[in-house]
Amino acid sequence: MNSWDQLKKSAALQALEFLESGMVVGLGTGSTVRFALDGLGERLRTGELKNIVAISSSIQTEKIAHRLKIPLTDFTQHSQIDVTIDGADEVDDQLNLIKGGGGALLREKVLAQASRQNIIIVDASKVTGVLGSKWALPVEVIPFAAEIENKYLQTLGASVELRKTPSGDIFNTDQNNYILDANFGQISDPYKLAADLNQRAGIVEHGLFLNLASKVIVAESTGIRILEN
């Protein structure tokens, strides 16, 4: 494990400190969160944490959880999550996020909105002054509306690409939707943009996660930093 991965692992283990036995835990998706999954599985195995059940944000995470023997549940059994641990592609000074680089933004936002606390793990490269400075905004659309929503995003000033797999096929989300990666550049008013996107029938969800992060744990070359509003 390289030094940067070691820092991300340290951040993930720090996030686990917010968990207690008996909690319902939301499991995010991505390489940084994987360290938290490994740590959670180990704490359950040793008995340091007990009676944890988890709700997953993706099929990928579900498979990892099964392998690590992390018990899974769903919203038919539990209507609220105590703590969700997830990553982000960008974090601004107000702890607003861009998420969806891994393609799980819809389920990730469902988990975030159902959680008492959202603990976000990132490395220092994801912290920015203005959202959109480093990352295009993922916008999940129903396939039927992909072309018209592509054109709509362009009217808002974005350059847009339909996300594809490395083999060149159209990327399908776990909910069988498409993702349009909309590059707006720096987003001066994320709340206005979110409102514009929310009104479109063909847009299922977007990667602006506003006022949802409770804490952001940042892995930096000098160590771990915790950001809170």
Per-residue pLDDT tens over the stretch 106-137: 999 999 999 999 999 998 899 999 999 999 99
46 vs 78: CA distance, rounded Å: 25
Instruction: Check whether 47 has a pLDDT greater than 90.
Output: yes
- Domain around 177: 137-203
In a domain, 47, yes or no: yes
115 and 95 assigned to the same domain: yes
Q: Look up the CATH number of the domain holding residue 184.
A: 3.30.70.260
pLDDT at residue 222 greater than cutoff 90: no
Say if 166 falls within a structural domain.
yes
Specify whether 141 is located in the same domain as 117. Answer: no
Is position 42 annotated as part of the catalytic site? no
pTM of the predicted protein model: 0.94
- At 26, which amino acid appears? G
- CB-neighbour burial class of residue 168 (10 A; exposed 0-12, middle 13-18, buried 19+): exposed
* Same domain, yes or no: 69 and 16: yes
Number of neighbours of residue 123 by Cβ within 10 angstroms: 18
**Are 8 and 74 contained in the same domain?**
yes
pLDDT at 1 over 80: no
Within a domain: 129: no
Are residues 111 and 45 part of one domain? yes
pLDDT in tens, 61-85: 999 999 999 999 999 999 999 999 9
User: Rounded mean pLDDT of 190-211?
Assistant: 98
CATH code of the domain covering residue 42: 3.40.50.1360
Number of compact structural domains in the chain: 2
**What is the per-residue pLDDT for 6?**
82
* C-alpha to C-alpha distance for 8 and 33, rounded to whole angstroms: 9
CB 202 within 8 A of CB 142: yes
Whether residue 45 is found in the same domain as residue 113? yes
Residues 100 and 120 reside in one and the same domain: yes
On whether residue 8 sits in a domain, the answer given is: yes
**Co-location of 86 and 34 in the same domain:** yes
Catalytic entry in 62, 90, 108, 140:
108
Residues 97 and 150 in one domain: no
Report the distance separating Cα 141 and Cα 115, nearest Å.
24
| Cα dihedral across residues 130, 189, 228, 137: positive or negative | negative
Residue 225 falls within a domain, yes or no? no
Per-residue pLDDT of 159-183, as tens digits, reads: 999 999 999 999 999 999 999 999 9
pLDDT-based confidence at residue 204 (cuts at 50, 70, 90): very high
Query: Do 36 and 96 belong to one domain?
Result: yes
2: confidence class by pLDDT, cuts 50, 70, 90: low
8 & 97 share domain: yes
Residue 174 lies in a domain: yes
